[in-house]
Amino acid sequence: MKRDYICRDCGIDTNKGKDNFYGVTEELWNKYGVGKGMLCLSCFKKRLGREFTKEDFVPCVLNYKVNPVVKSIVKPTEQEIKALFQSYK
Ligand SMILES: [Zn+2]
């Protein structure tokens, strides 16, 4: 089965580039997300109706390393990055 990477709100392909790969807390996704579907970062922010904070994002490689936009919001410390990679072992 082909996974659908199309943003449900604006229709862009979230699989292009890195800015739209992110992981928010389950609580936020349940409230503002689209279940198994995808939302680009700016559409999720629109639904959220406020600026993102560090606490909105879960500790994961996408947020801490891959996505430059989220990384600039979270600003993970060396300690947090270390803890993240240790949790994968
Ligand atoms: Zn969108």
Condensed to tens digits (0 to 9), the pLDDT of residues 29-42 reads 999 999 999 999 99
Condensed to tens digits (0 to 9), the pLDDT of residues 18-27 reads 999 999 999 9
How far from the centroid of its chain's Cα atoms is residue 20's Cα? 7
C-alpha 28 – ligand 1 centre gap (Å): 16
Cα distance from N-terminal residue to C-terminal residue, the chain: 30
Single out the residue of 58, 55, 16, 60 nearest to residue 38, CA to CA.
Answer: 16
For the chain, which residues score pLDDT lower than 50?
Answer: none
What pLDDT score does 33 carry? 97
Distance between CA atoms of residues 6 and 39, nearest Å: 7
Query: By residue range, what is the domain housing residue 59?
Result: 1-89
C-alpha 13 – ligand 1 centre gap (Å): 8
- The C-alpha angle 35, 26, 45, rounded to 5 degrees, equals 75
C-alpha 42 – ligand 1 centre gap (Å): 6
Domain count, the chain: 1
C-alpha 38 – ligand 1 centre gap (Å): 8
C-alpha 65 – ligand 1 centre gap (Å): 22
